[in-house]
Amino acid sequence: MAEITGKMVKELRDRTQAGMVDCKKALQECDGDMEKAILFLRKKGLARAAKKAGREASEGVIGSYIHGEGRIGVLIEMNCETDFLARTEEFQKLVREVAMQIAASSPLYVKREEVPADFIEKEKEVRAAALKEQGKPDTIIPKIVDGQIKKWYGEICLMEQTYNRNRDLTIEELIKALSGTTGENIQVRRFTRYEMGAGE
């Protein structure tokens, strides 16, 4: 077990704004590994954030991000519970990070519940046909397709995408980390991604 020093606890506190006791416990749980301790605290924040998920988030901002000398643009509405949080640098930074994710990874929906049922069924049919063409037995095709569809949600649904700047987090976990530390319900309401030359 690594020795947990006051300096380590202070560094973790400075980087996460978590309480001293929580920081010390996180470092102990993670054997002194600073990056793992940060992730530990974020995940702990997720548990606190889950209790707030049912509360109405009617404040927030519409943010924008332009990438590639104007070739890609994103508009995003993110909501929180108070105007006070909406104006903070932390919230504004989160909005920008999520907009950058949308620009880079082109999600189609915010969450899987928004994906139309007929779109899912069509995707399943295409994947099942491809597996049959590969000679996979009919008995295992449905199970393989289910696994592929779960992975597919992680590509097309923003909340399930892996955060590009920290591959240990999903976008949902990134958002809930701030929700856990601020005590507010934070939601992505909607977004639109524009790409030059990609219109219908």
Tokens of 64: 């924008």
Tokens of 17: 């704004």
User: Boundaries of CATH 3.30.479.20 in the chain?
Assistant: 59-111+157-195
Of 3, 10, 47, nearest to 28 (Cα)? Answer: 3
Residues 99 and 165 sit within 8 Å (Cβ to Cβ): no
Q: Which of 67-71, 99-103, 149-153, 184-188 has the lowest mean pLDDT?
A: 67-71
CATH fold for domain 116-155:
GTP Cyclohydrolase I; Chain A, domain 1 (1.10.286)
The pLDDT tens digits for 35-60 are 888 888 777 764 455 555 666 667 88
Segment 76-101 shows an average pLDDT of 94
At residue 196, does pLDDT exceed 60? yes
CATH fold for domain 59-111+157-195:
Tetrahydropterin Synthase; Chain A (3.30.479)
Tokens of 60: 């927030």
User: Boundaries of CATH 1.10.8.10 in the chain?
Assistant: 6-50
Task: Look at 96 and 22; give whichever has higher pLDDT.
Answer: 96
Task: Look at 194 and 9; give whichever has higher pLDDT.
Answer: 194
The pLDDT tens digits for 104-155 are 999 999 999 999 999 999 999 999 999 988 888 889 999 999 999 999 999 9
Residues 103 and 171 sit within 8 Å (Cβ to Cβ): no
Give domain 6-50's CATH architecture.
Answer: Orthogonal Bundle (1.10)
